[in-house]
Amino acid sequence: MKILDVTEFFSERGGGVRAYLAQLLREGTLRGHQVVVVAPGPRAEESTVHGGRLIRVKGPAMPYDPSYHALWNFPALRALVARERPDVLQASSPYLAAWLAATQPFVSVRSLVLHSDQIGSYARPVLSRWLGAERANAMVHPLWWGLRSLASRFDCTVVSARWLADQLTAEGIPRVVQAPFGIDRARFSPTLRDEALRASLLGPYASDPRARLVVIVGRLALEKRVDLLLDALFLVARRRPLAVVVMGDGPERPLLEARSQSLGLGAVFLGFVTDRERYARTLASADALVHGCAVETFGFAVAEALASGVPVAAPAAGGAGELVDATCGVTCDPEATPVEAALAIERLLDKPPGSMTAGAVARAATIPAAEAHFDELFMIYERAMRSRR
């Protein structure tokens, strides 16, 4: 079958959605499908990626994060989809890409894939900062009406996590199906732990047996709540030697670097680590991963840390909350203050080094392999196509 994905969250620096769509191109091609990904970019161009086709449509840079570009030329996009004539038209966001897919004529199967942060993820942190969590949630709630209306035009709404499937169903979203995301277990392992690398990242604390190396991984944007993590880690660092490494990039990076400096935390910002072997070694060499986002659909960084044998401190909500339990880490309230988050991180770091490695690896073993997600996704589409005949 021919699958055409229209996305709008496709960063020039990388990130979860871009990595997922690269997997879609690769896994679809390996199974004999034709896969086309249409994404906005700084210029119009077409390239071959993992045997599939990536078509960039020129669009203006987004104000908050210029590494993303806007879907802009709808007539050109409609003509492109009509020319490609896909069997499955897949929208990878519930915004402009979804409205295009929902209203495109002469399409066999339409699929809405919610693998980006859920509805309200970007508005809620801003509103919470000014109005408080309760009023922010009340203001975001009406957005569900728009998603219900949109999803009713699709043959299926695909999600990765059980918590999100349950939430969408409770909000009246029709035809929700689950295809759990997976990870590349061959790439991540406790055997990649590099004590020399850990010592270099610990810096002046390398010889102190009480010292711990903590990593933060992800896009540095408001909804990821890295500012909360830095404030919490500052409190932890007042009680023990602590080195903090941040792997990721994004619009909040300058503010976060300034915050770390003003706190005297000395966090090392490595940017987006494109060398996947270096990323996997750094992750495996950490003593803990701390995670702040309570709204993402899966939590790839959390899953990769667990596969690396690294315990995790995370909110008890969203994809991270579904992945982390007492055998492999600690959780805290999704609305935790820096003090409360610091206490949770302390509980994790107080455990003997390596004591949760086996639990983390065992938890990761329950997460599907990346290939299994695409097996399930393509079966969903094949069933939908058969039901249309």
Cβ atoms of 230 and 259 within 8 Å: the answer is: yes
Q: Can you tell me the mean pLDDT for 101-124? A: 79
pLDDT at position 135: 73
Q: Can you tell me the mean pLDDT for 305-314? A: 98
What pTM was estimated for this model as a whole? 0.89
Please report where in the chains the tokens 């915050």 appear, as a residue. Answer: 259
Confidence class for position 94, pLDDT limits 50, 70, 90: confident
pLDDT at position 85: 96
pLDDT at position 9: 87
Does 69 have pLDDT greater than 90? yes
Instruction: Provide the β-strand partners of residue 110.
Output: 89
Helix 357-365 with 300-307: angle, nearest 10 deg? 120
pLDDT at position 349: 98
CATH match for 190-365 among 3.40.50.800, 3.40.50.720, 3.40.50.2000, 3.40.50.12780 = 3.40.50.2000
Indicate if the alpha-carbon torsion angle 223, 16, 164, 114 is positive or negative. Answer: positive
- Mean pLDDT for the chain? 92
Cβ atoms of 319 and 298 within 8 Å: the answer is: yes
pLDDT at position 130: 67
Spatial distance between the Cα atoms of 111 and 90, rounded to a whole number of angstroms: 5
Indicate if the alpha-carbon torsion angle 155, 144, 161, 213 is positive or negative. Answer: positive
Does 134 have pLDDT greater than 80? no
CATH match for 2-182+369-388 among 3.40.50.2000, 3.30.70.20, 1.10.10.10, 3.30.70.120 = 3.40.50.2000
Spatial distance between the Cα atoms of 337 and 225, rounded to a whole number of angstroms: 11
Cβ atoms of 36 and 4 within 8 Å: the answer is: yes
pLDDT at position 102: 94
- Residue 78: alpha-carbon gap to chain centroid: 28
Confidence class for position 27, pLDDT limits 50, 70, 90: very high
Per residue, the 3-state secondary structure of the chain, as one string, reads CEEEEECCCCCCCCCHHHHHHHHHHHHHHHCCCEEEEEEEECCCEEEEECCEEEEEEECCECCCCCCCECCCCHHHHHHHHHHHCCCEEEECCCCHHHHHHHHCCCCCEEEEECCCCCCCCCHHHHHHHHHCHHHHHHHHCCHHHHHHHHHCCCCEEEECCHHHHHHHHHCCCCCEEECCCCECCCCCCHHHCCHHHHHHHHHHHCCCCCCEEEEEECCCCHHHCHHHHHHHHHHHHCCCCEEEEEECCCCCHHHHHHHHHHHCCCCEEEECCCCHHHHHHHHHCCCEEECCCCCCCCCHHHHHHHHCCCCEEEECCHHHHHHCCCCCEEEECCCCCHHHHHHHHHHHHCCCCCCCHHHHHHHHHCCCEHHHHHHHHHHHHHHHHHHHC
Measured at the CA of 189, the angle between CA 184 and CA 194, to 5 degrees, comes to 135
Point out the least confidently predicted range of 112-116, 245-249, 333-337. Answer: 112-116
Does 191 have pLDDT greater than 70? yes
Q: Can you tell me the mean pLDDT for 302-311? A: 98
Outline which parts of the chain fall under CATH 3.40.50.2000. 2-182+369-388, 190-365
HSE value, Cβ hemisphere, 13 Å, CA-based, for 151: 25
Tell me the residue type at 61.
A
Per residue in 154-167, pLDDT (tens digit) is: 999 999 988 889 98
